[in-house]
Amino acid sequence: GQNIDQPTEMTATEGAIVQINCTYQTSGFNGLFWYQQHAGEAPTFLSYNVLDGLEEKGRFSSFLSRSKGYSYLLLKELQMKDSASYLCAVVDSNYQLIWGAGTKLIIKP
Amino acid sequence: EAQVTQNPRYLITVTGKKLTVTCSQNMNHEYMSWYRQDPGLGLRQIYYSMNVEVTDKGDVPEGYKVSRKEKRNFPLILESPSPNQTSLYFCASSYGLEGSEQFFGPGTRLTVL
């Protein structure tokens, strides 16, 4: 079966750095997305990785290792508004999007 | 403004009473899909459509129907809703899947009594 694993919940301090991991076992791979979702709202796009390596976009970076079936989202200089759920999603060989259950990130002052 | 709209945003209904949730996008996107989101389970795809008149089942299609008669609209139909369909529903659209950002509607919170 297809599976995406993310930690259920993480806590971090304002101003710090946090890394949210995502591991996947899917039938094929055609890219990996990270989305942010605030409580009660729609998910919004953060990043897309299809090649190995690090993609940096302001305070957020996303890393991919296809051989290890692993990605992480790195959030720097955390702000209170970063409190949200972070969703990892993989495009499989049939171009279906497989979603993880999401990681709830709690930021403390 | 580029957006995906859904209606209604909130709905409380009773078992067996047919309902339709509308979804419309103004970005000329080929790909549209419906998801349900339940606590601890993440987003699960119900149906998707690669283009007009082309629809396919996602992971949890039972109890739902869709149609794609026009590019911009992708309604979700519950012919005979049951309490296990109580959930938060999202419509999304994109140009494709490979590398294309999905734009989500604001969500429809459905309660079936």
Above 80 in pLDDT, residue B20? yes
Q: Is the peptide bond before B8 cis (omega within 30 degrees of 0)?
A: yes
Cα–Cα distances in Å, from B47 out to A54, A55, A80, B60, B111? 32, 31, 35, 8, 20
The two three-digit tokens of residue A77, written as one number = 């200089």
Looking at residue A15, its pLDDT comes to 97
CB contact under 8 A, A43 and B90: yes
CA distance A51 to chain B (A): 11
Chain B hits for A101, CB-CB cut-off 8 Å, are 40-42
Above 90 in pLDDT, residue B33? yes
| A5 vs A94, residue with greater confidence | A5
Above 80 in pLDDT, residue B6? yes
Above 80 in pLDDT, residue B99? no
Looking at residue B1, its pLDDT comes to 86
Phi, psi dihedral angles at A21 (to 5 degrees) = -95, 155
CB contact under 8 A, B101 and A48: yes
Q: What is the mean pLDDT of chain B?
A: 94
Lowest mean per-residue pLDDT among A36-40, A61-65, B17-21, B99-103: B99-103
With beta carbons less than 8 A apart as the criterion, state whether B54 and B70 touch: no
CA distance B4 to chain A (A): 11
| A47 vs A40, residue with greater confidence | A47
The predicted model gives A51-57 an average pLDDT of 95
CA distance A45 to chain B (A): 6
Above 80 in pLDDT, residue B98? no
Q: What angle do CA B40, B44, B50 make, to 5 degrees?
A: 160
CB contact under 8 A, B98 and A99: no
Per-residue pLDDT tens over the stretch A69-92: 999 999 999 999 999 999 999 998
CB contact under 8 A, A42 and B106: yes
Residue B61 sits at the chain A interface (C-beta within 8 Å):
no
Residue B40 sits at the chain A interface (C-beta within 8 Å):
yes
Nearest CA in chain B to A46: B101
Among B90, B97, B104, beta carbon nearest to A91: B97
Per-residue pLDDT tens over the stretch A5-43: 999 999 999 999 999 999 999 999 999 999 999 998 999
Among B40, B42, B104, beta carbon nearest to A42: B104
